């Protein structure tokens, strides 16, 4: 066994890693990268390979990682191989492992207003049955209790994902990434820019990846709208089917495995069936909106973290604060209106009494 595996030991190796953050538009970014003719993007998008595999098992990386997830790689046309696992941003060991194997790796990170991110993330956790507390304010208050191993949803596969404060502390996560690999190997995409300047954002990202950024020469990408894919909020129709699809009992998993062996059912067939059933059970839904007061509380919680991100980006993100500030003003305005209304009612009552 080799003492240290290097990317140069293989015919090709991923050099671009889209590592987060969750609910910040990484699916849209991965769709764009996957359409570029010079990029071979992994299938599926999220592999979560590094940090999960023991060092001794890395000797099988050719078979378990490259051959399995990059089957479409063509050295004649692909200049870059890439994958997109958002867990890497939160896993220092995964980052160190990638950095050791691929010293030239480049890291793409998408960031978003933490308040909006949390609203979307919590709703997604409910959808996946990883969370059982529907009210996010309550789930937020439960963080310390859950950190002690209490009140963990019985179907939650990774309790770390319930640490909402940590999940949304993007400044701290990006700062650790920069300290690990260096600022020049990190490209940070602010979600707001994907909406306000999709073409400029797209070209900057492609240049960072080292591929052709002239959208007029790329038939696979819409030059006017390079980010057409948007993850819409969704929920499930039937909880019992959702549980079978995403949290099946172990006996069902064993039965499925036996079925594959006895009947010759291909794993892809089961994946297609899973996909069809998931679509059947899918309905549109919107995450509940936070109250203005709670929104303001969260923004105060993340203010220092946003300052860290501002320093790294050398950019003002005050627009994120203004959203919460606007909500606070709305509350104050509503209170003023109510006070005026009460005053008018009191005056009216007094006038009636006088009469």
Query: From CA 103, how far away is CA 27, in angstroms rounded?
Result: 25
Distance from first CA to last CA of the chain, Å, rounded? Answer: 99
The answer to whether 133 touches 44, Cβ cutoff 8 Å, is: no
Q: Is the pLDDT of residue 251 over 70?
A: no
- The neighbouring-strand residues paired with 283 are 235
Name every residue whose Cβ is closer than 8 Å to that of residue 146 and which is 6 or more positions away in sequence: 152, 159, 162, 163
Least confident span in 238-242, 250-254, 276-280: 250-254
Query: From CA 162, how far away is CA 345, in angstroms rounded?
Result: 47
| pLDDT score of 3 | 55
Over residues 222-241, the mean pLDDT reads: 86
Over residues 151-159, the mean pLDDT reads: 95
Q: What angle, 0 to 180 degrees and rounded to 10, lies between the N-to-C axes of helices 250-263 and 267-280?
A: 130
Over residues 295-309, the mean pLDDT reads: 97
Which is more confidently placed, 7 or 328?
Answer: 7
Query: From CA 106, how far away is CA 13, in angstroms rounded?
Result: 12
Report the candidate in 334, 331, 70, 25 with the shortest Cα–Cα distance to residue 202.
25
Q: Where are the beta strands (DSSP E) in 77-142?
A: 80-83, 106-111
pLDDT digits (tens, 9 = 90+) for 24-51: 999 999 999 999 999 999 999 999 999 9
- Stated pTM of the model: 0.85
Over residues 286-294, the mean pLDDT reads: 95
Least confident span in 121-135, 257-271, 327-341: 327-341
The answer to whether 130 touches 155, Cβ cutoff 8 Å, is: yes
Element (H, E) at 16: strand 16-18
The model's confidence at residue 231, banded by pLDDT at 50, 70 and 90, is: low
Name every residue whose Cβ is closer than 8 Å to that of residue 243 and which is 6 or more positions away in sequence: 129, 155
Report the candidate in 98, 3, 318 with the shortest Cα–Cα distance to residue 192.
318
Q: Is the pLDDT of residue 142 over 50?
A: yes
For 128, 242, 274, the CA distances from 239, given in Å and listed in that order, are: 10, 5, 15
Query: From CA 158, how far away is CA 129, in angstroms rounded?
Result: 12
The model's confidence at residue 274, banded by pLDDT at 50, 70 and 90, is: confident
Over residues 245-266, the mean pLDDT reads: 61
Q: Is the pLDDT of residue 352 over 70?
A: no
Domains and CATH numbers, the chain: 7-233+285-323 (3.40.50.300), 234-284 (no CATH)
The model's confidence at residue 232, banded by pLDDT at 50, 70 and 90, is: confident
pLDDT digits (tens, 9 = 90+) for 161-219: 999 999 999 999 999 999 999 999 999 999 999 999 999 999 999 999 999 999 999 99
Q: What is the distance of C-alpha 37 from the center of its chain?
A: 24
| pLDDT score of 25 | 93
Query: From CA 248, how far away is CA 229, in angstroms rounded?
Result: 29
Element (H, E) at 190: strand 186-190
Ramachandran quadrant class, 155 (left: phi over 0; alpha: psi -120 to 50; beta: rest) = alpha
Three-state DSSP class for residue 22: coil
Residue located via tokens 């600022």: 183
Q: What percent of the chain has pLDDT over 90?
A: 75
Report strand pairing: 106-111 vs 234-236.
unpaired
The model's confidence at residue 335, banded by pLDDT at 50, 70 and 90, is: very low
pLDDT digits (tens, 9 = 90+) for 45-56: 999 999 988 888
The answer to whether 49 touches 118, Cβ cutoff 8 Å, is: no
Q: What percent of the chain has pLDDT over 70?
A: 84
């Amino acid at each position: 066994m080799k003492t240290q595996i290097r990317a140069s030991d293989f015919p090709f190796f991923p050099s671009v890693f889209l590592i987060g953050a969750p609910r910040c538009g990484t699916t849209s970014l991965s769709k764009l990268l996957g359409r570029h003719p010079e990029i071979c993007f992994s299938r599926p998008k999220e592999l979560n390979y590094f940090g999960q595999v023991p060092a001794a098992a890395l000797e099988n990386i050719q078979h378990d990682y490259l051959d399995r997830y990059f089957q479409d790689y063509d050295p004649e046309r692909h200049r870059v191989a890439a994958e997109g696992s958002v867990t890497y941003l939160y896993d220092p060991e995964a980052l160190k492992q990638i950095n050791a194997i691929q010293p030239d790796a480049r890291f793409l990170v998408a960031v978003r207003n933490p308040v909006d991110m949390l609203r979307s993330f919590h709703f997604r956790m409910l959808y996946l049955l990883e969370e059982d507390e529907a009210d996010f304010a309550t789930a937020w208050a439960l963080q310390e209790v859950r950190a002690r191993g209490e009140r963990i949803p019985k179907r939650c596969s990774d309790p770390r994902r319930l640490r909402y404060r940590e999940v949304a502390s993007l400044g701290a996560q990006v700062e650790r990434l920069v300290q690990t690999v260096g600022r020049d190997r990190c490209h940070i995409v602010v979600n707001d820019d994907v909406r306000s300047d999709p073409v400029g954002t797209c070209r900057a990202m492609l240049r960072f990846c080292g591929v052709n950024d002239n959208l007029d020469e790329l038939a696979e990408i819409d030059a006017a709208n390079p980010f057409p894919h948007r993850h819409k909020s969704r929920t499930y129709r039937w909880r019992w089917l959702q549980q079978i699809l995403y949290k099946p009992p172990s006996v069902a998993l064993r039965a499925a495995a036996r079925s594959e062996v006895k009947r010759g059912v291909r794993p892809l067939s089961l994946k297609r069936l899973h996909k069809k059933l998931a679509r059947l059970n899918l309905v549109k839904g919107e995450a509940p909106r936070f109250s203005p007061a709670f929104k303001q509380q969260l923004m105060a919680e993340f203010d220092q973290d946003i300052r860290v991100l501002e320093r790294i980006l050398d950019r003002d993100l005050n627009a994120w604060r203004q959203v919460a500030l606007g909500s606070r003003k709305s509350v104050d305005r509503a209170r003023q209106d109510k006070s005026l209304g009460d005053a008018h009612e009191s005056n009216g009552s007094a006038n009636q009494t006088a009469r």
